[in-house]
Chain A
Amino acid sequence: MKSPSLQRRTLGLVAVVVALLTLFVYVAVRSGPLAPVAVTVAEVESRALKPSLFGIGTVEARYTYKIGPTFAGRVKRLDVHVGDRVKAGQILGEMDPVDLDDRVSSQESGLKRAEAALREATARQSYAETQARRYEELLAVRSTSEEMAATKRQERQIADAALSAAREDLARSRSDRDAVVAQRSNLRLISPVDGVVLLRDADPGTTIVAGQAVVEVIDPKSLWINVRFDQISASGLAADLPVRIALRSRRDQLLNGRVLRVEPKADAVTEELLAKVVFDTLPKSLPAIGELAEVTVDLPRLPEIPVISNAAIRRDGDKVGVWQVVDGDLRFTPIKLGTSDLDGYVQVLDGLQAGDKTVIHSEKALTAKSRVKIVERLVGAAR
């Protein structure tokens, strides 16, 4: 007794059951550990890499002139402010001379006194000279005693000695005065170069110890960048290589420069190589001292050999290599890597040929037993 309504029911039931079962099988196979791993595959290209090195550094001045007194003292006046341009030889300020001016006038008086003493000694000497000569003549005609003549001769010698003592005394006094005057002028703070005032460490009235800087002047033409490169990725760094400099305050504006020198002493603690980079032409508005700069050093172009993206590099046990899809199966190919560039391409020295296909991206870590499904792009990985 089959009625049409019964058949429809059967059909409906079968449809629901079949739909459910289909979904179930799909779910069981397409998700979880049984599902194939989606991967993207790319061909190994032969390409000439243009490797670059990337480092960061700070803008520094090659020469910084720290100007300060050589004696302890107090700052009397300071005529320049930070940012002022100064000329070589310009007086920037002066230390308080305290008693130096008085000592200069004291030395002046001493000098005058010594001059007077010299005049006196000269007068005495010329008189003694005359007397000695006269007694020599008298002795020749026997009008005086031998003793008197000897006394006059001795007096002349004494007057000679007194004269040269007075001369030396004058020279000493003059030197003494010059010394005090030199000390006095040493209190002036003078710029040794044409430059810009970088720092003003003390204001008038401040007491300064000997050797402490009052003003720091830099030569703006001597700005350079002290760049640090990680040692592991600094092979090929050498002097005279061209660089591109991006200052932190003007990221989008690339400046050109070159490596001036690579420091022979590396930083052992931070494991970095240090290099000095100079600008080809200084920007019109000077970069601030201490500003962070990103420096990219362009190395010479390398010969054309197979390269892969560094996303393809995997590790299987103790071997570094890539996964290749061969007849639907995965195979791990150990490779030997060469130089890499900053765009993520790495030279393959051994193990792959141009035109070989390797797995680049994968949804999961791959093993030789993984089932794979090659796709154009992985889910969620928008480019």
Chain B
Amino acid sequence: MISLAGRDIHHAWGKFVLTGFGLGLLIGVTLIMAGVYRGLVEDGRALLDNSGADLWVVQKDTLGPYAEPSSLNDDIYRTVLAMPGVDRAANVTYLTMQVRKGEEDVRAMVVGIAPGLPGSAPGWPPYLIAGRQITRGHYEAVADIASGLKLGDRLTIRRNHYAVVGMTRRMVSSGGDPMVFIPLKDAQDAQFLKDNDAIWQSRRRTEANPAFNRPGVPGLLEAVIASQSTNSSVNAILVALKPEQAPDEVAESIRRWKRLTVYTRAQMEDIVVTKLIATSAKQIGMFLVILAIVCAAIVAFIIYTLTMDKIREIAVLKLIGTRNRTIAWMIMQQALALGTIGFVVGKIAATFSAPIFPKYVFLMPQDSIAGFLAMMAICMLASLVAIRMALKVDPAEAIGG
């Protein structure tokens, strides 16, 4: 038995393949959109993974440090370290800001990491793609490749210059901004250090305040000014637990005895994924749904038009006594073949274009499989309409008209 569908495709394969390519690009866009959505969520997860923490200790009653500002004194980590079940604990600061490099500036999340050897404290970049980790306690930085910085670059944060000594990959904030790791003390300064004009103005303001500038008390003004320009706050304490410790128990005991707010990994993921990026994720999700519907409609329309194009040939087939089943099978086979070509082209296009996007596009294999199945289902549904039209055609049309 000869394959009717094969013969038909063979007959006008250029047109068929081109249609498949066009469809493929459309599917590619849909897959990319799904990838953008997944990338948003993945960025949030990467942030949590890379911190290396099991628990996040933050200011009481805040959703910090990622979703809300949080401020803790930098000596609290010592008391957390003394809690049972805690293996390692380290201060960390996060600040999203413009980092200058020469004339340009890059939006980056500046992370202050506690000193020590890599691996000894949570918060350090878990792996590098070039260079080395920070060794000096000041003025060195490890930057993410997405920031466009290179090894050996000098970047400026506030008024200090930092040498880039290492590069990371996929170290991003929940918003997808590349991270720049710098030593904790510098980061504390960067977070609270005002520009020089503001410092001068603030000094003058203090000087003008008669309560602080008293002729009878030499040294008071200097003491007040000194106390204004120090910062001993951090945003959170990252806690790594001893093996086999239940995070919830340790979290509960810190909550109870230290009167701080503590989040476990599951709670943090909930905050980051459902609260922080919820709106933008929904926005993309909505767009994805619309795109999928449009895509389905176009597929159905193409298959319908392809069938309508050869309605005369179908009439001839009917006239020579071809069975309805054979005709229906032919149309469905063509639809599925078109869908397959479209999917393959789409997947290839999506994979090659994904790295070009400025933010992370995460193409999950599950998404691709689901996309393929959906594609097949849409093709089948669309071909049903075409089959119905084909079966209704009057064999007389082959001779007439």
Binding site for B on A (CB under 8 A): 6, 9-10, 12-13, 16, 20-21, 23-24, 27-28, 31-34, 54-56, 207, 209, 211-213, 229-230, 232-233, 269-270, 294, 309-311, 313-315, 317-318, 320, 337, 340-344, 346, 360-366, 377-378, 380-383
Contact = CB atoms under 8 A, between A and B. Distances in A.
A361 B169 CA distance: 10
6 contacts: A13-B10, A13-B13, A320-B120, A337-B117, A381-B167, A383-B130
B200 to A, nearest CB: 15
Interface string B36-73: 00000000000001001000000000000000000000
B118 A310 contact: yes
Contacts of A310: 117-118, 132-133, 135
A311 B166 contact: yes
A56 B49 CA distance: 33
A378 B363 CA distance: 21
Contact of B344 (A24, A56, A232, A314): A24
B114 to A, nearest CB: 8
B116 interface: yes
Interface string B1-39: 000000001100100010000000000000000000000
Contacts of A366: 127
B151 A382 contact: yes
Given A23-B348, A27-B351, A362 B119 contact: no
Interface of A is mostly: mixed
A30 to B, nearest CB: 9
A337 B232 CA distance: 30
Contact of A269 (B116, B169, B232): B232
The 8 closest A-B pairs by CB, nearest first: A344-B132, A381-B130, A54-B136, A320-B119, A230-B137, A378-B129, A27-B351, A315-B119
Contacts of A315: 52, 119, 126
Nearest to B49: A365
A362 B126 CA distance: 10
A342 B136 contact: yes
B348 A27 contact: yes
B135 A341 contact: yes
Given A13-B13, A270-B232, A363-B129, 14 more contacts: A32-B351, A211-B218, A232-B115, A294-B138, A310-B118, A310-B132, A311-B132, A318-B242, A343-B132, A344-B133, A344-B135, A361-B128, A365-B49, A382-B130
A251 to B, nearest CB: 9
Interface string B218-252: 10000000000000100000000011000000000
Nearest to A10: B10
A315 B115 CA distance: 16
B345 interface: yes
Interface string B161-184: 000011101100000000000000
B163 to A, nearest CB: 11
Contacts of B400: none
B285 to A, nearest CB: 21
B374 interface: no
B75 interface: yes
A317 B243 contact: yes
B358 interface: no
Contacts of B135: 54, 310, 340-344
Interface of B: 9-10, 13, 17, 49, 52, 75, 87, 115-120, 126-133, 135-139, 145, 150-151, 165-167, 169-170, 185, 215-216, 218, 232, 242-243, 341, 344-345, 347-348, 351-352, 354, 363-365
B258 to A, nearest CB: 19
Contacts of B232: 269-270
A84 B171 CA distance: 55
Nearest to B219: A212
A209 B218 contact: yes
Contact of B345 (A20, A363, A378, A382): A20
Nearest to A6: B10
A361 B129 contact: yes
A32 B185 contact: no
A360 to B, nearest CB: 8
A16 B341 CA distance: 10
A254 to B, nearest CB: 15
A378 to B, nearest CB: 4
A199 B243 CA distance: 60
A205 to B, nearest CB: 14
A383 B151 contact: yes
Contacts of A270: 185, 232
Nearest to B120: A320
Contact of A309 (B132, B218, B348): B132
A381 B351 contact: no
A97 to B, nearest CB: 21
Contacts of B344: 20-21, 23-24
Contacts of A337: 117
Given A344-B165, A364-B170, A381-B145, A314 B119 contact: yes
Given A213-B218, A318-B87, A313 B118 contact: yes
Contacts of B364: 32
A245 to B, nearest CB: 14
B117 to A, nearest CB: 6
B10 A9 contact: yes
B14 to A, nearest CB: 8
A27 B347 contact: yes
Most buried by A among B136, B170, B344, B364: B136
A180 B128 CA distance: 77
A9 B9 CA distance: 10
A6 B12 CA distance: 11
A362 B215 contact: no
Contact of A31 (B75, B169, B363): B363
A54 B243 contact: no
Nearest to A317: B243
B75 A361 contact: no
A207 B215 CA distance: 9
B365 A381 contact: no
A69 to B, nearest CB: 12
B128 A311 contact: yes
